[in-house]
């Protein structure tokens, strides 16, 4: 799992990470919005599940269902 911040300042993104305990996964910062554009993120919160080769499997706008993420990830690894 990788978090990708882009809408706030880097300091605000770091505060968010500290406040919500996201230290268990990598957080990246992109002030240019280019990464969001590249993977099709149009609003937040959003999530994109990527295959091992980087191709998108599916995505969600808003909260994402953990059980579906785990099922799709397992199916992707088995393929």
pLDDT for the residue numbered 71: 92
Q: Are residues 49 and 33 in the same domain?
A: no
DSSP at 5: E
Question: Are the beta carbons of 25 and 2 closer than 8 angstroms?
Answer: yes
Q: Are residues 37 and 49 in the same domain?
A: no
Q: Are residues 31 and 61 in the same domain?
A: no
pLDDT for the residue numbered 68: 92
Question: Are the beta carbons of 50 and 58 closer than 8 angstroms?
Answer: no
- Mean pLDDT calculated for residue range 11-28: 82
Q: Are residues 37 and 52 in the same domain?
A: no
Q: Specify the pTM.
A: 0.69
What is the span of the domain harbouring residue 23? 1-41
Q: How many domains does the chain have?
A: 2
pLDDT for the residue numbered 6: 83
Q: Are residues 65 and 78 in the same domain?
A: yes
Q: Are residues 59 and 30 in the same domain?
A: no
Q: Are residues 5 and 30 in the same domain?
A: yes
Residues 41-71 pLDDT 10s: 888 888 888 888 888 889 999 888 889 989 9
């Amino acid at each position: 799992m990788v978090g990708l911040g882009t809408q706030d300042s880097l300091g605000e993104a770091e505060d968010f990470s500290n406040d919500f305990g996201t230290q268990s996964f990598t957080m990246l910062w992109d002030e240019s919005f280019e990464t969001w554009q590249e993977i099709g993120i149009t609003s937040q919160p959003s999530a994109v599940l990527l295959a091992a080769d980087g191709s998108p499997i599916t995505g969600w706008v808003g909260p994402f269902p953990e059980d579906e993420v785990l099922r799709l990830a397992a199916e992707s690894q088995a393929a």
